[in-house]
Amino acid sequence: MSVLVLADHDLGRLSPSTARTVHAVAELGPIDILVLGEGVDQVVADAAQISGVQRVRVSQDSGFVGQSAEALVPLLAELAEGYSHIVASAGSVGRDVMPRLAAKLDLMPVTDVTALLGPNRFERPIYAGNAIETVTSNQTQHVLTIRTSSFAPAANGNSATIEPVSHAPVISAARLIDALRTEGDTPDLGSARIVVGGGVSVGSAEGFKLIEQLAAQLGAAVGATRAAVDAGYAPNDWQVGQTGKVIAPDLYIAVGISGALQHLAGIQGAKKIIAINKDAEAPLVQIAELRLIGDLFEMVPALMRELEAR
């Protein structure tokens, strides 16, 4: 058995999700990482350091800029032959690429894997995380996406071989025209140790600044409910939940969030939850380890003053 992991990267940086994906599949056999994209020298160097990686295979063809499935899938399908498992993180690229790859290889993909029970037995959440399904596959090859928040990152300290991949010119009808990015120096939401999440009850984009200030004080990432995002109070990439990001921080501070099922689906990996809410009966308050019942506009500044004083 051997494993091919598609590296997750952006702006010339390797995403922390790649080391988590490698850790998830570490027991399955020798691991190769595939890096596709232009200007990825640093990505390749960082990937080679991940423990457990045998080889980093790389193509810097300009056709891979934008990471479109149309460009990535043909090469992945060509390389797949030598591997028992072809794996990516369940991020936006992996979710797009892997089902198409599976279709091309005539395989059943297993998506959002949260535990590997063996080479062909996997756990994954269903019904928005309300049940865990165990999938046993009798296929000889497996196409997987990994829910990386369920796994710790593999350690660094390796020096894997780096090998270019030769392939036919990339032909794709898709072309990256522009990428609009949110700039910020807060930690990555998907791998942050502390996340402060705000709900629609903050009332405005200006009100959301309070959430951001508390997060900055704690060195935390900022999350939001879909209601807050839909209202325009927080950017789309802060959304946590079934249709947003799945997070697994050590601490989640939920400010003015009711705890709808779709939001809870994104925070099930959180180890401790503090809920700040004026409604003691709110579902999220019910599952929190620590409950601060009251008006968020009083409680958050009070909490910040208390933290400042320490």
- Type of residue numbered 238: W
Strands 13-14 and 251-255: unpaired
Taking the complex as a whole, the smallest distance from the CB of residue 50 to ligand FAD amounts, in Å, to 30
Q: Determine if residue 241 is labeled as part of a ligand binding site.
A: yes
CB nearer to ligand FAD: give 170 or 200. Answer: 200
What is the H or E stretch that residue 12 is in? none
Q: What is the number of other CB atoms lying within 10 angstroms of the CB of residue 188? A: 12
Q: Determine if residue 242 is labeled as part of a ligand binding site.
A: yes
- Type of residue numbered 63: G
223 binds ligand FAD (CB under 6 A): no
CA–CA gap between residue 96 and residue 241 (Å, rounded): 19
Three-state DSSP at 72 gives: helix
Q: Which of residues 140-199 bind ligand FAD (CB under 6 A)?
A: 199
Taking the complex as a whole, the smallest distance from the CB of residue 262 to ligand FAD amounts, in Å, to 3
Q: Which of residues 242-301 bind ligand FAD (CB under 6 A)?
A: 242-244, 256-258, 260, 262-263, 266, 277-279, 282, 295-297
Q: Determine if residue 226 is labeled as part of a ligand binding site.
A: yes
The angle at the Cα of 111, spanning 105 to 112, to the nearest 5 degrees, equals 155
- Asked whether 120 and 137 are in contact (CB, 8 A), the reply is yes
Count of residues in the chain: 310
CA–CA gap between residue 92 and residue 69 (Å, rounded): 10
CA–CA gap between residue 137 and residue 103 (Å, rounded): 15
Among the listed residues 34, 151, 225, 233, the single contact to ligand FAD using CB under 6 A: 225
Residue nearest to ligand FAD (CB): 241
Among the listed residues 200, 211, 234, 270, the single contact to ligand FAD using CB under 6 A: 200
CB nearer to ligand FAD: give 60 or 242. Answer: 242
* Binding residue positions: 225-226, 239-243, 256-263, 277
Contact positions toward ligand FAD, by CB under 6 A?
199-201, 225-228, 239-244, 256-258, 260, 262-263, 266, 277-279, 282, 295-297
* Binding residue positions for FAD: 225-226, 239-243, 256-263, 277
